[in-house]
Structure 1
Amino acid sequence: MKKTWYAMIVLLFLAMPQEGWAKKIRVLYVGDAGVMLGPNVIASPFYYEQKGYSVQIWCQPVLDALNAEPDMTVEHMANWDALAKFPETPEAIAARCDVVVLSDCEQEVLVLYPWERFMDSPMGPNRLESIREFVRNGGGLIMIGGWESFTGRRGVGNWRDTPVEEALPVECLDVNDDRREAPQGVHIQTLVSDHPVIAGLDWESCPAFTGYNRILAKPGAIVLAKVKEYDDPFIVVQHFGKGRSMAFASDISPHWGAGFQRWKNYGKSFVQAIRWLGGSEQNEGKRDE
């Protein structure tokens, strides 16, 4: 009798829908946070007082959108946390996540180590090389624009000629500053409408961006969207080894992305991007092989 019950339980388990058992896409999101101090009060030549302290997570709407998906889980690291806690080897990264997001995170955050390791020689593995190998081995990587991304404001991003740039579908410009500030607003024009990253989204209705990083698409990369007014690449993807990578040239938060944050498809656009980067974009349409 017991054997019969065991057999029935096994059959019921095998007959259950398997969708709920699918492996979640794990996202490690680095950057897009800051500390706000103030207001600062100067009441006289002898009196100065600072009131207020808060941590701002500028990417919170994206984190919320990804966490709302049953097949995704997100860990966020502010830059000051990533300096000390970002995984050090390709294997350690893969054990932690399936997709790495770098947004307003300059390369020094990940190539250097905290103060207590500055006197060590060597300090530790080159984490930029580790990210490249993580992608080559099947991981996903996206860099999102901002003053500290790509080349960045006055070169502070400094991602040009790094192992991470090797894994990206774009080249960072060899200039002092790659930003194009556009207070008048610039618009996005899609070039490949059926790719899983952008399929089904009404990009014509996307609000204007007020700036972006100028980047160059690599040979063999696919430019999914460009800046309509200047023909600069805006969304670029590629396969790298067994993995996938993507560049998004503007910011996801103010000031460049203030209008973008209010778009009806704001969250969904990043859900689709992460699904493609994580290799499970079949839920959004045709698989891109």
Structure 2
Amino acid sequence: MGFLKEEKSTWQRRQIVIMKVLYAGDACTKLGPVFIASPFNLEMKGMSHHVWGQPLIDALKSDGNEVTHMTNEQAIADFPRTVEELSQYDVIIISDCECEVLSLYPFWIPGTPLPRTNRLKAIREFTRQGGGLLMIGGWTSFSGRFGHGGYYDTPVEEALPVNCLKGLDDRVETPEGATVRIKKPDHPIVRGIPWEDAPLFEGFNKIIPKDGAEVIATISDGEKEYPLIVTWTFGRGRAMAFASDCSPHWAQYFQPWEHYGQFWCQAIKWLGSNSARTNP
């Protein structure tokens, strides 16, 4: 079950599973404000970074896990390129990080050497050898907006428990709110959480469960149910697809929910339980 750390007090003695997590995506660079004083005078007065997934990072860390987060601009250069490098982690999270971020490299920077490796294949083999893989939905996850997520027919899709829509926009926008229905209430990922009280989601990706995958939960737009949480075992590892988001706008109300952190921590513990780092 991973590295165990014991905490003792007068009132309790419990074991905490420490997972090392690599998280790519869910961030942006904000430019501005921009001032146009004349046709010849345009100035930009600021630049900042915003991590949409910071509440997820905080939740995982508060449970004792170690999280390394990379924005997409960092990931294209620095995301590990081999199974050996990935194996220092127990779980990989990919969320709103389009496929090209991981499949390409900074070829536009003079002197950048060819990597001679394929990160998409490395992620697949990391999972096959016992690692955990989690893809969280969004406009550039799975197939994504106008197909720009781009994970259809890739090695990463091979490791996931779902297929992506081929070249299609897979988003379902539900401004009226979409509800969650738990199919497997005793599964460790969702157990002990009052899902009947869960906030509504404002959208999700259409994903197609593979043969042998387990649909833990569905999401409904009021007319039809779609897969929300899908898991399976891939080789020695475990993979999970979460069709909605962990951050706004789809998870505008889910992110501040009091059980938000519990859900993601339970998911990470389940995903990383067979990792090569802690089970050599």
TM-score of Structure 1 vs Structure 2, range by shorter chain: 0.7 to 0.9
Structure 1 vs Structure 2 CA RMSD: 2.1
**Aligned sequence identity (%):** 50
Specify which structure has the higher proportion of strand.
2
Shift of 1:123: 3.7
Would you identify which runs of 4 or more consecutive aligned residues in structure 1 move more than 4 Å?
Answer: 20-23, 116-122
Q: Does 1:83 align with 2:76?
A: yes
CA distance in 2, matches of 1:110, 1:223: 27
Larger of the two Rg values belongs to structure: 1
Aligned residue number for residue 263 of structure 1: 257
Q: 1:211 aligned to 203, 207, 212, which one?
A: 203
Shift of 1:22: 7.5
In the alignment, is the contact (CA less than 8 A) between 2:92 and 2:134 conserved in 1? yes
Aligned residue number for residue 144 of structure 2: 152
Letter of the aligned partner of 1:198 in structure 2?
V
Letter of the aligned partner of 2:256 in structure 1?
R
- Single out whichever of 130-139 and 21-30 deviates more from structure 2: 21-30
SS of equivalent to 2:102:
helix
Aligned residue number for residue 8 of structure 1: none
In the alignment, is the contact (CA less than 8 A) between 2:120 and 2:156 conserved in 1? yes
1:123-179 CA-partner distances (Å, limit 9, x unpaired): 421110000000000000000000010001011100000000000000001242000
Specify which structure has the higher proportion of helix.
1
1:231-258 CA-partner distances (Å, limit 9, x unpaired): 1100001110000000000111111110
Shift of 1:92: 1.3
In the alignment, is the contact (CA less than 8 A) between 1:117 and 1:123 conserved in 2? no
Unaligned runs of 5+ in 1: 1-16, 281-289
Unaligned runs of 5+ in 2: 8-14, 275-280
Aligned residue number for residue 104 of structure 1: 96
Letter of the aligned partner of 1:60 in structure 2?
Q
CA distance in 1, matches of 2:32, 2:219: 37
SS of equivalent to 1:34:
strand
Shift of 1:119: 8.0
In the alignment, is the contact (CA less than 8 A) between 2:57 and 2:67 conserved in 1? yes
Q: Does 1:277 align with 2:271?
A: yes
Normalising by the residue count of structure 2, what TM-score does the alignment of the two structures yield?
Answer: 0.88
Aligned residue number for residue 30 of structure 1: 24
SS of equivalent to 1:237:
strand
Distance 1:182 1:22, change over 3 A: closer
Number of corresponding residues: 262
Distance 1:23 1:189, change over 3 A: closer
Normalising by the residue count of structure 1, what TM-score does the alignment of the two structures yield?
Answer: 0.85
In the alignment, is the contact (CA less than 8 A) between 1:138 and 1:244 conserved in 2? yes
